[in-house]
């Protein structure tokens, strides 16, 4: 990246540097004049000045990437935030296809599977809000480093687990450490003006989506690796993800300690205030978002719970349902889920032009409608669908409704905050999502165990329909500041 920036900023290209003619008086440094000390000194002086100029250009490129000039974005720190987000969400995705087979080997039930999935969300829910407020008042770097250390500890426990309770405790610890999203979103919120936040938050959500929706494919690939050893800390299809995540978190800690810099406190707010002052001098109003609408904030949290809840239920039962209904292997089920994840990733990548065309609240309505339709299709026809149709209907929620609706409600939530502490309230947003995962994942396991697969789809259809009705009733209050 530095090389590219250097050549763009320099007054010469690579070919020009090699062919550049040495000015008169410096002499040419070659084999024919090495015996002439004066020409050697003159040539050395010229090439030393050329090297100094190159070094200065590289330094300027690094400063530009760092965003140290007023109004620039610190791309280096943002890249580290992206990596931390991917690793934190990979804690779910990599183990998603193998957690039920692993639990079966430890004599766990379907109901216990729901509790296991919920334990991860419980740990995340408990730590999300405190971490968000800590990031508002202390170093984001140290908060993220502490999270990575907890993730390493939890994965050590996971790879050494020999009973279902040890697995449960390890997922709880990993959940504590995975609550980085509120801190990462606060970094984006503090680093960017309002008009640029939605699609950068979409990039974060895309990485979050890759972590839990695309990485199951990597987990399926790990299931094909050879088994080495037996018992605790052995290498097998259930424990490989734990070792991989330990290594990924070690890389995260190294990047945080060497490359990451905290964003300046209230940098965005200060720029917004300066803009407001300038507008007031011109006689215009700068009252946009001055007073937060707490009803709109509450409705956004309800919508967030609904989207998180439906994904939590599918996260718990989708791969086991595919394996049970269609008699396919762990790796095959993983690849199906992972393919849907890549389709959803395309939606995330396309979100920038989508958000410029449609308002956040209209996109939320669209996501809810798609989720309701897919839930109804599952409820009515799930037992009669071939595997391709079944997975395609799953994709309506997994790859379309959730990416569009969840990203739009997040962007809308950051806008209705209107000056409230970003880290703390985004922590509340994330905690509400974790609560939804805890509640709905547990419900999915219990319903599947006691009432069969269709009961899970019935629950999904009911609460998504209710959420759509609530959103429609309060639609005028959900103002994103833009019109379609």
Per-residue H/E/C for 178-224: CCCHHHHHHHHHHHCCHHHHHHHHHHHHHHHHHHHHHCHHHHHHHCC
Query: Helix (H, G, I), strand (E, B), or coil: what is residue 132?
Result: helix
pLDDT at 8 over 80: no
Higher pLDDT, 133 or 116: 116
303-320 exposure pattern, b = at least 16 Cβ within 10 A, e = fewer: bbbbbbbbbbbbbbbbbb
pTM: 0.69
Element (H, E) at 439: helix 422-451
Indicate the DSSP class of residue 228: B
pLDDT score recorded for residue 164: 94
Q: CA 27 → CA 35, 40, 45, 288, 396, distances in Å?
A: 13, 7, 10, 65, 70
Cα within 13 Å of Cα(463), Cβ side = 20
User: Rounded CA gap, 13 and 6, in Å?
Assistant: 9
pLDDT at 30 over 70: no
User: Rounded CA gap, 74 and 67, in Å?
Assistant: 4
Q: How many CB atoms lie within 10 A of CB 294?
A: 10
User: Rounded CA gap, 322 and 334, in Å?
Assistant: 9
User: Rounded CA gap, 74 and 44, in Å?
Assistant: 37
User: Rounded CA gap, 181 and 203, in Å?
Assistant: 12
pLDDT at 88 over 80: yes
Positive or negative, the CA dihedral 268, 269, 271, 272 is positive
Residue-wise pLDDT for 372-430, tens only, equals 999 999 999 998 899 999 999 999 999 999 999 988 998 888 888 766 776 677 778 87
Give yes or no for a contact between 134 and 474, defined as CB atoms under 8 angstroms apart.
Answer: no
pLDDT at 299 over 90: yes
pLDDT score recorded for residue 288: 44
User: Rounded CA gap, 34 and 19, in Å?
Assistant: 20
The phi, psi pair for 205, rounded to 5°, reads -65, -35
pLDDT at 75 over 60: yes
Low-confidence winner among 129-143, 189-203, 450-464 (lowest mean pLDDT):
189-203
Indicate the DSSP class of residue 358: S
Q: In Å, how far from its chain's centre is CA 151?
A: 16
Residue-wise pLDDT for 341-354, tens only, equals 889 888 888 877 88
The total number of residues shown for the chain amounts to 484
> How many percent of the chain have pLDDT more than 70?
77
């Amino acid at each position: 990246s530095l090389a590219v920036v250097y050549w763009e900023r320099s007054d010469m290209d690579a070919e020009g540097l090699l062919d550049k003619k040495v000015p008169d008086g410096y002499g040419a440094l070659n084999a024919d004049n090495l015996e002439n000390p004066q020409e050697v000194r003159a040539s050395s002086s010229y090439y030393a000045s050329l090297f100094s100029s190159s070094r200065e250009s590289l330094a300027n490129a690094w400063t530009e990437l760092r965003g140290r000039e007023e109004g620039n974005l610190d791309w280096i720190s943002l890249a580290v935030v992206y990596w931390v987000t991917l690793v934190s969400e990979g804690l779910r995705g990599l183990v998603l296809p193998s957690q039920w087979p692993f639990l079966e080997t430890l004599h766990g039930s379907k109901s216990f599977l729901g509790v296991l999935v919920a334990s991860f969300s419980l740990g995340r829910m408990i730590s999300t809000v405190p971490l968000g407020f800590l990031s508002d008042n202390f170093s984001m770097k140290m908060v993220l480093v502490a999270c990575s250390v907890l993730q390493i500890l939890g994965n050590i426990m996971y790879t050494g687990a020999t009973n279902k309770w040890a697995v449960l405790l390890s997922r709880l610890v990993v959940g504590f450490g995975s609550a980085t999203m509120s801190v990462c979103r606060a970094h984006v919120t503090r680093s960017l003006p309002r008009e640029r936040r939605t699609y950068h938050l979409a990039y974060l959500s895309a990485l979050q989506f890759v972590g839990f929706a695309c990485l199951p494919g990597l987990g399926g690939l790990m299931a094909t690796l050879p088994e080495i050893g037996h018992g605790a800390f052995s290498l097998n299809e259930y424990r490989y993800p734990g070792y991989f995540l330990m290594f990924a978190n070690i890389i995260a800690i190294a990047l945080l300690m060497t490359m990451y810099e905290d964003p300046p406190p209230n940098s965005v707010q200060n720029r917004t205030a300066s803009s407001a002052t300038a507008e007031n001098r011109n006689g215009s109003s700068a009252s946009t978002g001055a007073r937060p609408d707490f009803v709109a904030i509450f409705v956004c949290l309800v919508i967030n719970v609904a989207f998180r809840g439906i994904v939590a239920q599918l996260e718990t039962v989708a791969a086991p349902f595919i394996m049970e209904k269609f008699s396919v292997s762990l790796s095959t089920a993983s690849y199906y889920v992972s393919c849907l994840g890549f389709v959803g990733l395309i939606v995330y990548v396309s979100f920038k032009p989508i958000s410029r065309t449609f308002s956040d609240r209209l996109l939320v309505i669209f996501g809810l409608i798609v989720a309701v339709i897919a839930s109804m299709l599952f409820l009515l026809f799930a037992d009669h669908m071939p595997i391709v149709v079944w997975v395609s209907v799953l994709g309506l929620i997994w790859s379309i409704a959730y990416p569009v609706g969840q990203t739009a409600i997040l962007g809308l939530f950051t806008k209705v905050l209107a000056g409230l502490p970003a880290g703390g309230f985004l922590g509340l947003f994330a905690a509400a999502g974790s609560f939804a995962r805890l509640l709905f994942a547990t419900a999915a396991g219990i319903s599947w165990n006691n009432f069969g697969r269709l009961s899970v789809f019935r629950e999904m259809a009911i609460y998504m329909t209710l959420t759509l009705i609530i959103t429609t009733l309060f639609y005028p209050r959900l103002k994103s500041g833009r019109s379609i």
